[in-house]
Amino acid sequence: MSTEKPELRIATYMCPTHPVQLYELIMELLEEALGCYTTLQYESRKPGPFTDRPDPFINDKVDLAFMTAAAYMKLRKENNPSADLLAVTPVFAHQMNVNNKPGYFSDIIIHRDKKAHNVNTLLDLRGCAFAYSDEESLSGSKIVLKTLKARGENASFFGSLLKSGSHLASAQMVLSKQAEWAAVDSTTLLYTKKYMPEGGRDIILLETLGRLPPYPIVVNRKLNDKIKTAICDALLNLPQTEKWKNKFATFGVLKFDLNHVDIYDGPAAQVWTTQSEELNVRYY
């Protein structure tokens, strides 16, 4: 009789927004809880599966994937037959998340020097160079456009648009003064700010937008239901285990909580469908 352990194939599209070490920690937790081996596929070029390549769920190449809310909502819109939402999501610390609920925010950040130029609100940034991760990002682009529209503005508000490629790169562009402001995923600086020059002290949080829908964990429909349940149980029981709770706190993860497909409808869908104007974009 074979004693070989089963393998759980995990993919993350969340780096470098989140450090890859967070997903390595999730691997360790699941290996211990499920008695399996895990492998991790790291894809930093896209927030979700490539649309012009074979789908990793349909082709049964991935069991579990971490991706952005926008990428998951696109899978739903396309009615992917092999991708389901796992019923759990990580909950991150943030000054606006006082009730420790699922979901995240968009942080509007500026360089400390901008404060000397009477920049105190988002609308004070009219005509300033804006860095963002990509056009489909809820926190990096969509929520900003929706907020500006609600305040009587439109895409002409921006002095110029600088597509950075990631939330971390957007923050670094503000730090180096390549951009005057940026909208970044609220979890981006939780772990990485301490590795920036002088602990990133020159980055100032001007305003917070949202709440945005939780980070989805997407599971292959072909995966055994007992394994899906075991994964959920392992993550939901995290706060009850001091060892794992402390390890995840390093990355700002407070706990895992329940998630549901309905959360990605309504206001979340309205943010996702916000359209931007055609603009010249400088790439860095």
- Rounded CA separation 137/70 (Å): 6
Helix (H) or strand (E) holding 244: helix 242-249
Q: Are residues 127 and 207 in the same domain?
A: yes
Cβ-based neighbours of 9, under 8 Å, separated by 6 or more: 38, 39, 41, 61, 62, 63, 64
User: What Cα–Cα distance (Å) separates residue 232 from each residue in 4, 26, 61, 245?
Assistant: 23, 12, 21, 16
CB 76 within 8 A of CB 69: no
What tens-digit pLDDT sequence spans the chain (284 residues)?
456 789 999 999 999 999 999 999 999 999 999 999 999 999 999 999 998 999 999 999 999 999 999 899 999 989 999 999 999 999 999 999 999 999 999 999 999 998 777 899 999 999 999 999 998 899 999 999 999 999 999 888 999 999 999 999 999 999 999 999 999 999 998 888 888 888 889 999 999 998 999 999 999 999 999 999 999 999 999 878 899 999 999 999 999 999 999 999 876 666 655 554 443 444 44
Assess if residue 141 is contained within a domain: yes
Compute the 3-state secondary structure of the chain and give helix, strand, coil in percent, each to the nearest 5.
35, 25, 40
- Side chain identity at residue 282, one-letter code: R
- In a domain, residue 197? The reply is yes
pTM score of the predicted model: 0.89
What are the helix and strand counts (H, E) for the chain? Answer: 8, 13
Q: Does 83 reside within a domain?
A: yes
Q: Which CATH number do you get for residue 35?
A: 3.40.190.10
Residue 259 structural domain: 7-95+214-270
